[in-house]
Amino acid sequence: MEQQCGQAAGGAGGQGSLMGMLFPLAIFVVIFYFFIIRPQKKRQKAQDQLLASLSRGDQVVTIGGFFATIREVKDDSIVVEIADGVKVRILKSAVATKRAAAAAPQQKESAPREEAGKTEEESN
């Protein structure tokens, strides 16, 4: 009889240990979600918004480290100018960041130089 009572008590203890095993696993899943999955979704949403907001004239930095000015926007790619007269077609996903608006005055200053260069060429 003692063995039967011991087995019954052991069976009830088995269910308690099952809950004891599942509780830490559930905590691990919750921690995993809040520290890994959720921040990644936020970063992806911000990157998608950045790519959707790209327009002609924006200054960007590519994932390769090139500073460029967008000259043309297509469906899945953009044409950027990385130096005077050097245009490159890259995927939109290759854009890492958009440069701050403070860089825009530099672009405006370079535009008159280009126009001045064109007028000199036209006069020849």
* Cα→Cα distances 18→14, 31, 60, Å: 6, 20, 54
pLDDT tens-digit map of 51-65: 999 999 999 999 999
Both tokens of 5, joined, read 């009572």
Residues counted in the chain? 124
Residue 102: the pLDDT is 47
| CATH placement of domain 55-123 | 2.30.30
Please report, for the chain, the start and end positions of each structural domain, with discontinuous segments joined by +. Answer: 1-52, 55-123
Which DSSP helix (H) or strand (E) runs through 15? helix 2-32
DSSP assignment letter at 35: I
In the chain, the amino acid numbered 71 is R
How far is residue 70's CA from residue 88's CA, in Å, rounded to a whole number? 10
* List of the chain residues with pLDDT < 70: 1-15, 101-124
